[in-house]
């Protein structure tokens, strides 16, 4: 099947050189771009805005890693001011304190072979990663942890899987 393109300058129909009318190609690229865009919430931007420089930079990095790990994760604000990342349930949340950032992981059974979780290992519902200024978050291990929580949520959540 060949696609015919209407050339308004010559008032003739000609075969399209790429098989897709350019306008449709542009529309498709916009749709694909929107589909690949993270599900962000401007309220999270407002949460990040007033943070001290190192905390803002770290939270932005964490946010980016979460969306890279699982593009279907959506953002929201819960408890009045806390950014939550959700996919069929809570995945994680951010909290800025005076001297560190907490990343609450809402799945006590997701594997953590790299041992990046450093708080609440025995907790029943959640564990956390505390990150202080000048500390690095192991990106690959963090993304694997986020994927594991998201996968568990897709299977009904850790309460069902336990």
Domain ranges of the chain: 4-36, 42-161
| 25 confidence band (pLDDT: 50, 70, 90) | low
Q: Which two tokens stand for residue 27?
A: 């529309």
> Which residues make beta-bridge pairs with 14?
5
Question: For 42-161, which CATH class?
Answer: alpha beta
How many angstroms separate the CA atoms of 132 and 128, rounded?
Answer: 13
pLDDT of amino acid 78: 95
Per-residue pLDDT tens over the stretch 58-108: 999 999 999 999 999 999 999 888 999 999 999 999 999 999 999 999 999
Sheet (strand 127-132) strand order: 74-78, 82-86, 90-96, 100-105, 127-132
- pTM to 2 decimals? 0.77
| Mean pLDDT of the 22-33 span | 56
Contact 58, 91 (CB under 8 A): no
């Amino acid at each position: 099947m060949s696609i015919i393109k209407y050339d308004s300058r010559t008032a003739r129909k000609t075969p399209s050189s790429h098989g897709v009318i350019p306008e449709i190609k542009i529309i498709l690229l916009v749709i694909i771009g929107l589909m690949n865009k993270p599900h962000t919430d401007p309220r999270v931007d407002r949460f990040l805005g007033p943070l001290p420089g190192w905390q803002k930079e770290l939270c932005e990095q964490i946010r980016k890693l979460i969306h890279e790990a699982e593009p279907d994760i959506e953002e929201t604000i819960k408890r009045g001011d806390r950014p939550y990342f959700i996919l069929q349930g809570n995945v994680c949340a951010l909290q800025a304190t005076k001297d560190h950032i907490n990343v609450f992981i809402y799945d006590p059974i997701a594997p953590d072979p790299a041992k990046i979780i450093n708080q609440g290992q025995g907790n029943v519902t959640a564990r956390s990663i505390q990150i202080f200024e000048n500390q690095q978050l192991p990106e690959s291990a963090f993304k694997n942890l986020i994927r594991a929580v998201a996968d568990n949520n897709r299977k009904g959540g850790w309460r069902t899987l336990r």
